[in-house]
Amino acid sequence: MQKLTGEERSYYIENFQIEDFFSFNIHPYIEICKFDKGEWIFKEGSFPDTLYYMMEGKAKLYMTHKNGKVSLIEYIEAPCFMGEIELLNEARYTKGIQTVTETICLSIATQGCKDMLLADAPFLRRLCVFLGEKASKMTSKYTQNQAYPLENRLAAFIQLSSDKGIYKEKHTEICEYLGVSYRHLLYVLAQFCEANILQKKKNGYHIMDEQRLMQLAQEIQ
């Protein structure tokens, strides 16, 4: 993680009109951070003292279950808050977040201004809206996902998680994320290759038929 300075920093701060988020002067507490692709923003179990607002990028949210298994819960995309639940609950239970692409975040060091944040109506209102949308989004995802076979969900997922036309995720993770068996995931990937939608190469599955993939993904709508 790298803190931006100078022009780069100014660019993001000015472009996002950060002042609108708060009724007090937030500037002493903020930084603009750049995370490399694959870098961890939060590690599980750590004690978060930072609230992030992702401005650009994409990341994965992980959770470890009681039995020790790790599963990929959700892909998150800018703009969004990260670490907001921990701020609200004084809680320990942090989930892990790892970037998928290079990611730019506004970071707020909460140790100095937590009380101000939790007493700041403009900020809280925005957080409420964010959380409300998140809940709604989860709801519709949940309702719709049960209605479609893996073929469609996987197509949508490949679109979301691929980078430069290459899909390269751990099957063991993704089958949990998509709620299917490892065997079945492999089976459907093989189907995609069979249909020349994907092509399996050393460095991952290459998307050969963007059109058809989108079509399959959009059946979910």
Partner DNA sequence: TTCAAAATATGAGATATCTCACATTATTGT
Partner DNA sequence: ACAATAATGTGAGATATCTCATATTTTGAA
Where on the phi/psi map is residue 17: left (φ > 0), alpha (ψ -120 to 50), or beta?
Answer: left
127 binds, among DNA, a second copy, none (CB under 5 to 8 A by kind): a second copy
Q: Is residue 119 a contact residue for a second copy (CB under 8 A)? A: yes
Q: Which does residue 150 bind out of a second copy, DNA, none, counting CB within 5 to 8 angstroms by kind?
A: DNA
Options 128, 138, 160, 186; binder of DNA; rule CB under 7 A? 186
Q: Which of 70, 85, 208, 220 binds a second copy (CB under 8 A)?
A: 85
Nearer to DNA, 9 or 206 (CB): 206
Per this entry, what is the length of the chain? 221
Query: Which amino acid appears at position 116 of this protein?
Result: M
Cis peptide bond upstream of 149, omega within 30: no
Q: Which does 145 bind (CB under 5 to 8 A by kind): a second copy, DNA, none?
A: a second copy
Looking at beta carbons only, is 19 or 219 nearer to DNA?
Answer: 219
> In the chain, what's the furthest Cα-to-Cα distance?
58
Is residue 211 at the binding interface for a second copy, with CB under 8 A as the rule?
no
CB 179 to a second copy: min, Å: 3
* Residue 87 or 100 having the CB closest to a second copy: 87
Touching DNA, residues 104-163 (CB under 7 A): 149-151
201 touching DNA, by CB under 7 A? no
Q: Which segment (26-34, 35-43, 117-125, 171-179) binds DNA by CB under 7 A? A: 171-179
Question: How far apart are alpha carbons 38 and 132 in whole angstroms?
Answer: 28
Residues that bind DNA (CB under 7 A): 149-151, 170-172, 179-184, 186-188, 190, 200
